[in-house]
Amino acid sequence: MSRYLTPLSVTASLLAGTAMADAPSVAVDIAPVHSLVARVMEGVGTPSLIVQPGASPHEYSLRPSEAQALQDADLVFWIGEDLTPWMADAVETLAPDAAVTALLETDGTTLLSFRNGALFEAHAHDDDHAAHDHDKEHGDDDHDPDHADHAEGHDDGHDHGDHDPHAWLSPENAANWLTVIAAHLSAADPDNADSYQANAAAARAEIASLSAEVTATLDTVRGGRFIVFHDAYQYFETAFDFPAFGAISISDSSDPSPARIAEIQGRIADEGIQCVLSEPQFNPGLVATVMDGAGAKTSVLDPLGANLETGPDMYPQLLRSLANSLADCLS
């Protein structure tokens, strides 16, 4: 949408007139991004969360309170249409005058292309980082392998953009977004700009310390071999050089085919996979089927932190939880 902001600009409507005495009303799509915005706004105001924990961001029905939060919003921060395609129309309808920032489209954001197939080659992460390529075909994150970049031949019936939208699992992206968020808030609310900038600087330092902590946790099991339920973690894997060997499902909205399950079972046997990771919202029976006859352990990963308390501390807790779950499963 043409009215979406560039990283360091705001709409003329927010710049016009005198500075706001109170913090602006802010709406955010998912809990991890909400945490980053809440950290920047700490001591000044509290953003509203649109997609509640435990719900799928790909398809979502707004509650009246969430629709009201969008309608009241002066600023909206969201990942973008690749993750929540439905939200574009909701923002256009309910928040036509809000300053909207799609974080996947901000300068300095590292984007990774979708990976092909059920099986990944260790350390073969796609380094096609297109931080300035914002001319994407928007859709959800169901990986349609009939896309031009996916020749696997299994059509899951959905379109998507060129890039994996789970970019919040990169601490580098999170640190960059803190700067972006603080810039937009400062421009919209100059009276509190010093607080926003100080909070963002402190949060970036916290993320740097957190990255060192996560690295130390993963170092205890580095070289361990694991498979995830669906391919949502490559930003985390790339950031910490800790690659998965495959994904049970090509999409988080459809069950894997029998052929795919057989392929994953073969991978577990052939590669000595030690850990198979599920997600809380998916059928545990699928993981049990994949694990049938295998000696691997199981654990749970959650890229959205559904079981974590929302707020400014949630983002570091999310990355810490991912690292601890991996370490426990691989130990």
Which CATH number characterizes residue 207's domain?
3.40.50.1980
Residue 149: predicted pLDDT? 32
Q: Rounded CA gap, 166 and 228, in Å? A: 14
In a domain, 123, yes or no: no
In total, how many domains does the chain have? 1
For 31, the domain range is: 12-110+168-211
Q: Which of 53-57, 179-183, 284-288 has the lowest mean pLDDT?
A: 284-288
More confidently predicted of 265 and 97: 97
Top mean pLDDT of 122-126, 150-154, 242-246, 316-320 is at 316-320
Amino acid occupying residue 320: R
Average pLDDT over residues 50-66: 91
| 177 in any annotated domain | yes
38 inside domain: yes
What is the pLDDT at residue 215? 98
Q: What CA–CA distance (Å, rounded) separates 240 from 320?
A: 12
Q: Above 50 in pLDDT, residue 16?
A: no
Which ranges of the chain would DSSP assign to H, the alpha helix?
12-15, 31-41, 64-72, 86-94, 171-188, 193-219, 234-239, 258-271, 284-291, 314-330
pTM comes to 0.81
Share of the chain above pLDDT 90, in %: 57
Q: Is residue 252 part of a domain?
A: no
Round to whole Å and give the CA distance between 304 and 179. 21
Residue 202 counted as domain residue: yes
Q: Is residue 254 part of a domain?
A: no
The two beta strands, 26-28 and 247-249, are: unpaired
Q: Is residue 288 part of a domain?
A: no
Q: Does 196 or 281 have the greater pLDDT score?
A: 196
* pLDDT tens column, 268-303: 888 888 998 888 776 667 777 777 767 788 888 999
Whole-number pLDDT of residue 1: 39
Is there a domain that residue 187 lies in?
A: yes
Q: What mean pLDDT is reported for the chain? A: 82
Selection from 25, 82, 7, 36 nearest residue 202 by Cα: 36
DSSP state of 142: -
154-176: burial string, b at 16+ Cβ within 10 Å, e else: bebebebbbbbbbbbbbbbbbbb
* Arithmetic mean of pLDDT, 145-157: 33
